[in-house]
Amino acid sequence: MEYDFSKLNAREFEALVASIIEKELDTKVEVFKSGRDGGVDGRFWIGESKEGIIQCKHYLETPYNTLISKLKSEEAVKVKRLNPSKYIFVTSKELSRANKQEIKEIFKPYIHSDSDIYGKEDLNSFLSKRENHDIVQRNFKLWITSTSVLDLIYNNAIKGRSESTIRDIEEKAYKYVITENHNKGLKILEEKNVIILSGEPGIGKTTLADNLALYYLTKGFEFCDIEENISEAESLFREKEKKKILFYCDDFLGSNLYDAINNKKDSHITKFINRVRKDNSKKFILTSRTNILNKACGLSHSFQNGKILDNEFLLKVENLTAFDKAKILYNHIYHSNLNEDFIEEIYKNKRYKEIIKHQNFNPRIIEFITDSTLVEHLHYEDYWKYIIISLNKPEVIWADYFQNQTDDCVRALTFLTVFNKGKIAENTLRNAYNTFLKIHLVNLGDHSDKSFEAVRKLATKSLLNRNQIAENKFEYTLFNPSIADFILGSYSEEIDLICNIIKSLETEVSIDYLQALFLSKKINSSNSDRILEDLFEYFFERKLNDEDWDFLITLSYCDFLNDKFKIRIEQFLNTLINAYYPKGYRLWELLMILLDFEPEIEFKNFKFLYNFIEDVDNEDTLKKLLDFVDRYDVEDENILMQIELLIENYLQNIVDNNDLDIDYKKHVNYSFYPDGYPKQEIDLNGIENEIREILDFYLEEFNVNVLEKSSFDTHKFASNMDIDAMATKFFENYEPDYEQNYNTSFFSGTSSEDDIDALFER
């Protein structure tokens, strides 16, 4: 049987060799820390006092002459100094009989016979014996790259997409580092049969899922890649009821969240997951971005009732120890094909520690900065600067692709999505794209199709994601959030471009986002004035005629203290407060502007507020409304009645969610039944009194004058609450704190600085 030793890095090869020699000699082999070894990769004892030494050279791609030269100039001197009773030399290179004779001569008299020299063919011969398969299985990467296991893996892939997925997984497995996450994932799958790997982009969800899948394929599980339709998996389940099957779904619900929930597919998915849970011959591995999974569980009663999150395993960078990160970095460097001068830039002054400790460390960035094809245009002296920029500003990952490998039309769709705060409905994007082509100079380049349908297909899955949000309705998001950081960093000085993007979008979201960019200084103040002047000129009269109040409020709020816009904003406000029952949702911004335009604005009445205050549901807006009513001594009964209702609804919501942190536990009295069983009694009056006290304290931050004017009564409000139901709900979900006996190195642990230095020692 053939094994692919090229997939192992130098440290992994040393660990393998130690296992082989230990079993071959039937004696314990001491393995030392990786690093400058003085010619010793392993040590064993012959009798009580005679020392045996093992030396490994993982020189698979090194020419034989170079190996011999190194042995003569460096290793022979070390061996003479060590003066062992026995010396075993192991290399991953193929060695002929003549080669072994030459090596034996170099290390004379320490190598006793040719059998103390192991080449690639000797390692393969040893590992192929059935009694030594335990060593292979302990070396994950070696096991999955053996010819027999590869045949097993490929034969177990369901034909079609599953077969292609498996080949992709296997080809990338050599860079994989087994961390505690891997062991934890296997444990969950063994116990529950289902695991949902969640986390932020770049954390390694798919990589872990891939290698968990490989593990089960080596155990004889067939592989079924589920892309969209759960029905194909169900059919296979029925067809092969007693066969071992691994179901695999990458980016669970990522592009079909709303479709799944709106069309009741969520219950379909829940039933299938529960079916797998109960059948130990089946496994199900899913990945999901944390925000998507949380949103799905928030929207779907089926997911909530089915306790989908019970299968979640959240991946975080904090879960990786410093040594885990070191192994990830080392492995990527080892397999990178980087020029030696580039690698030296990482090793210089132990800079690898800066990478390992960087707050933006994640496996995706490490893969990026060690990709030799992406840095081949650099001089090696600029490489470290490139690494630091990539870590500090991960968005540079997109620079080359965006600026050199796409055209103006694909870039246009990306610009429009970014400036709509990274998310945009398909119809809005289509209209904005068509407008943008008319008002902005675009290089159409060749004669290929530049229609929205053609261009969005080019942009999707490289710069944008297309997600279904309802039947026949789609929404676009950025393929990666760092795309926005790159674009804002690269194009913030392009005033005409920004103006034309906002004009094409014509959305309140884009105006809001623009203001956020002004406030965060991502667009400097001198440019913001010019941009707003252009937008006021373009939008103002048309939006005023259309009575598009929220758009005008949003645009005005960007810089309502600026004298350049004062006359127009005043005109807009006077038109609004005298309009016939105007309706809008941006009450907080409207009140802010109105308060700053006194006394230019004269109120005849306050009926213009009626429709604006219908849906107030946040504390800041509610407080601002109360302050406005107090300042202008508003006596309108309709407004005061609405305020009372708004406050009651708001407080009910925060009490229901226990945002006030009511300590229900302290209102439980424990006693025992005559037979000795414990019982608990809940003091409902005590809970109600605590709620009253906290609410009284909480409402001190609200305008007391208006609260009195609106007849709101805290005690009446508390008396009308269903305290019994609230307490019951709390204790249904309450779980006592138990002492956890977790392995601390998995959650946060620190690794020895010496271990990291030893790993990177050259």
**Range in 23-37, 80-94, 112-126 with the lowest mean pLDDT:** 23-37
Give the CA distances from residue 130 to residues 1, 133, 230, 694, in Å, rounded to whole numbers and listed in that order.
Answer: 11, 5, 40, 71
- CA-CA distance, 713 to 716, in Å (whole number)? 5
Neighbours of 418 (CB within 10 A): 24
pLDDT of residue 299: 62
Nearest to 261 by CA among 295, 312, 233, 310: 295
- CA-CA distance, 501 to 342, in Å (whole number)? 41
Give the CA distances from residue 720 to residues 577, 645, 726, in Å, rounded to whole numbers and listed in that order.
Answer: 37, 14, 12
Q: Please check the confidence at residue 292 and state whether its pLDDT lies above 60.
A: no
Tokens of 731: 């204790």
pLDDT of residue 425: 94
Angle, helices 426-439/408-418, rounded to nearest 10 degrees: 120
Signed CA dihedral, 326, 328, 329, 334: sign only:
positive
Report H helices in 30-146.
64-70, 76-82, 97-106, 120-128, 133-138, 140-144
- Pick the residue with more confidence: 415 or 673? 415
pLDDT of residue 254: 54
Nearest to 15 by CA among 130, 139, 119: 139
CATH topology of domain 146-315: Rossmann fold (3.40.50)
Tokens of 458: 């080019």
User: Bridge-partner residues for 248, per DSSP?
Assistant: 225, 285
- 692 in Cβ contact with 702 (< 8 Å): no
Mean of per-residue pLDDT scores for the chain: 81
**Is 130 exposed, middle or buried, given 0-12, 13-18 or 19+ CB atoms closer than 10 A?**
exposed
Convert the pLDDT of each residue in 229-251 to its tens digit.
666 677 777 666 678 888 888 77
pLDDT of residue 634: 92
**Percent residues over pLDDT 90 in the chain:** 25
Task: Reply yes or no: is the peptide bond before residue 582 cis, omega within 30 of 0.
Answer: no
Residue written as token pair 């942009």: 459
Tokens of 648: 């009651």
pLDDT of residue 30: 80
- CA-CA distance, 366 to 335, in Å (whole number)? 12
- CA-CA distance, 413 to 439, in Å (whole number)? 14
- CA-CA distance, 598 to 626, in Å (whole number)? 17
Predicted model pTM: 0.54
Contacts 24+ apart (CB under 8 A), 38-47: 38/78, 38/81, 38/82, 39/75, 39/78, 39/79, 39/81, 39/82, 40/82, 41/14, 41/17, 42/14, 42/17, 42/18, 46/85, 46/86
Residue written as token pair 């009308």: 720
Most confident of 162-171, 352-361, 535-544: 535-544
Three-state secondary-structure class, residue 640: helix
Q: Please check the confidence at residue 669 and state whether its pLDDT lies above 80.
A: no
Q: Please check the confidence at residue 692 and state whether its pLDDT lies above 50.
A: yes
pLDDT of residue 736: 41
| SS3 per-residue string spanning 398-447 | HHHHHHHCCCHHHHHHHHHHHCCCCEEEHHHHHHHHHHHHHHCCCCCCCC
**Range in 15-24, 553-562, 615-624, 658-667 with the lowest mean pLDDT:** 658-667
Signed CA dihedral, 493, 496, 502, 504: sign only:
negative
Q: Please check the confidence at residue 268 and state whether its pLDDT lies above 90.
A: no
Tokens of 426: 């398909």
Nearest to 325 by CA among 9, 761, 755: 755
- CA-CA distance, 742 to 664, in Å (whole number)? 29
pLDDT of residue 145: 63
Average pLDDT over residues 57-86: 87
CATH code of 5-131, in short, is 3.40.1350.10
- 459 in Cβ contact with 414 (< 8 Å): yes
- Pick the residue with more confidence: 190 or 220? 190
Convert the pLDDT of each residue in 484-507 to its tens digit.
888 998 999 999 999 999 999 999
pLDDT of residue 551: 97
Convert the pLDDT of each residue in 97-150 to its tens digit.
999 999 999 998 999 888 999 998 998 888 888 887 778 777 777 776 666 566
- The alpha carbons of the chain give a radius of gyration, in whole angstroms, of 34
- 484 in Cβ contact with 476 (< 8 Å): no
pLDDT of residue 363: 83
Domain ranges (residues) in the chain? 5-131, 146-315, 637-721
- 353 in Cβ contact with 31 (< 8 Å): no
